[in-house]
Chains A and B, each alone.
Chain A
């Protein structure tokens, strides 16, 4: 595979781009940073699919398209199936010699938001992972149905307020913990799964490249802060991801072949989760005295998860 090596952010911002800058994503949305990074980390041909969601509605509104490569969107749930249908056809046509360029390397990548990945498209994703297609699925995890105005998904963390899990006089917002999608995908026996964040952009590019190089179904969950629904200033997107990775509410790690876990980033100074929660409007209500115990619970969950990740890294099982 032809790997593009990007030395610095200046180069990253100016290099050849198959994802056009002209799109209608919100200013400050991390989706475009993550997508650009994927598309710039390889020179191979790309077939991209997208589930319905913010990315899709903002990049392919007729008669415009932001995609200077093959791109398909079918529905909310089936990007994994669409791109793996293409992967299978590629295999057949390569064998038969009916491709326009039979030798050019091609990579197959599906994008989905957390709503389509954790919820409505879960079955389609699981099926495609189980079938062992050679593709990479990237979840742009902004922890809510942002495209439809901020409803809870099973990726929404406990304590966040959303339009369908509202904080109010009798509620602290969402009551349930976030679904552990990375472990579920690793349990499929995937050769490579990871959780990555755009503030550590070199690490992210490396993870993407690893997924593209690895034969078989790979899965990457990426944190994609949503200034509109998380309620922060659009200029602070990367600062929010710094707080996410350094408070360990969003740890960066990879799991190879379902068992070999490597922690990719260990913050020098681990921040308290209050610093992360306090930077976003969606957690504002938690700072009332009556919800102190929720913040404590979030912190203790993070501590337990971090301990678990470290033990798994040591155990290699």
Chain B
């Protein structure tokens, strides 16, 4: 039996500590990990909980992130609860095995502390690693602060291990801004948290020898397509289950999560669509602009990046006049990937709002309230003119000359 851990009703935790507490309360059986900044404390803390008897589990420090996820796969296929954490280059090194984990339908929970991808080497937060995972077949959820990093990690186990889902889940938080900033966090009691997550009920357990299983078979053109289609369907079908888990969590805590979060959107004409901590900055800017200039500004945030809430994001934005989609990842010779997804959703509306793309905050460049306000004010100009008055894609917060691409043919 695990040793009791004393918790206060209100704790002051950073995002990493919050995530590791969720791992402790879920009594994760095995963590296979490799350290990388800024996610290291999540697995370090798990290791210390094992070392001090707070968890009846095993902590395995391996020789690379690729091995970390490989070990998680072997452990998860053996029927227990499995989690790990990584960032950036470690995420990139894991990439091969992320696809294997989802293809084998293993309910692993990966805490991703978002960080830029080299080169140049950078330890600060942007979303390049999160974007790298977007076709990997994992559910991806985003936390915008430490409380959410804790809450969503608990939800992640319940979603992943649901027998109608059986998919691995990533919980993202922004490097340093969330992971290393201490904030108030209201944890559940150990008992309430564990009861919420529940016992894992294994499917195709490698340690059940009465029913041998083969994991990681080969399929060529005869079956591969059907398997991948089934995996896509599983992701799509996970949407109502994610909603159910969020609803159950709300009943328990009063904290309500949605796959798409809308702030001040009832009458909003100009909108910033964002991911991660950017959302909180944009919310403050929107509120201030409403008071200062009477601009009807709102914010739409994607909580669940995969499966992508195509219909919900469209419905949330349908009434807007001008929408700025913000990408915190180097687009590498294209429009931002997130922009493309939101724009595609908006193309299916009657109103087709004006949609621009901002590349911002790469390598941890600060995204300020002032910058968010500038973006809102630009959207107001587009809305008033009835067409996009700037380049469609712009780099925001960049030093040196303006960088932007493509102009509208409307107006």
Contacts and interface: CB of A to CB of B under 8 A. Distances in A.
Contacts of B70: 74-75, 78, 81-82, 85, 124
Given A85-B71, A86-B78, A93-B207, A127 B214 contact: no
Given A61-B219, A93-B79, A67 B212 contact: yes
Given A62-B219, A67-B214, A71-B212, A83 B60 contact: no
A104 B207 CA distance: 10
B71 A68 contact: no
Contacts of A68: 212
A63 interface: yes
Interface string A29-49: 000000000000000010101
Contacts of A170: none
B78 A100 contact: no
A246 interface: no
A78 B66 contact: yes
A248 B65 CA distance: 40
B79 A127 contact: no
A72 B62 contact: no
Contacts of B85: none
A209 interface: no
B58 to A, nearest CB: 5
Contacts of A63: 223
For this complex, into which size category does the number of interface residues on chain A fall? 35 or more
Given A84-B71, A126-B63, A127-B63, A98 B216 contact: no
Interface in A94-125: 95-96, 98-101, 104, 106, 123-124
A74 B218 contact: no
Interface in B57-96: 57-58, 60, 62-64, 66-67, 70-80, 82, 96
Given A92-B56, A124-B70, A104 B209 contact: yes
Contacts of B32: 81, 85, 88
B208 interface: yes
A60 B217 contact: yes
Contacts of B67: 78, 81, 123-124, 127
B215 interface: yes
B209 A89 contact: no
A93 B205 CA distance: 12
Given A89-B207, A98-B80, A82 B74 contact: yes
B58 A69 contact: no
A89 B75 contact: yes
Contacts of A104: 209
A77 B96 CA distance: 11
29 contacts: A47-B78, A47-B206, A56-B218, A70-B213, A71-B214, A72-B74, A72-B216, A74-B73, A74-B100, A77-B66, A78-B70, A81-B32, A82-B70, A84-B60, A84-B71, A85-B30, A85-B71, A85-B76, A86-B207, A88-B60, A89-B207, A92-B29, A92-B56, A92-B80, A93-B79, A95-B56, A98-B79, A100-B207, A124-B64
Given A127-B63, A130-B63, 8 more contacts: A70-B209, A72-B214, A73-B217, A88-B75, A89-B75, A100-B205, A101-B209, A131-B60
Interface of B: 29-30, 32, 56-58, 60, 62-64, 66-67, 70-80, 82, 96-97, 100, 205-210, 212-220, 223, 227
Give the 8 A-B residue pairs with the shortest CB-CB distance, closest first.
A85-B74, A127-B63, A73-B216, A85-B71, A78-B70, A89-B78, A82-B74, A81-B70
Interface of A: 45, 47, 49, 56-57, 60-63, 65, 67-75, 77-78, 81-86, 88-93, 95-96, 98-101, 104, 106, 123-124, 126-127, 130-131
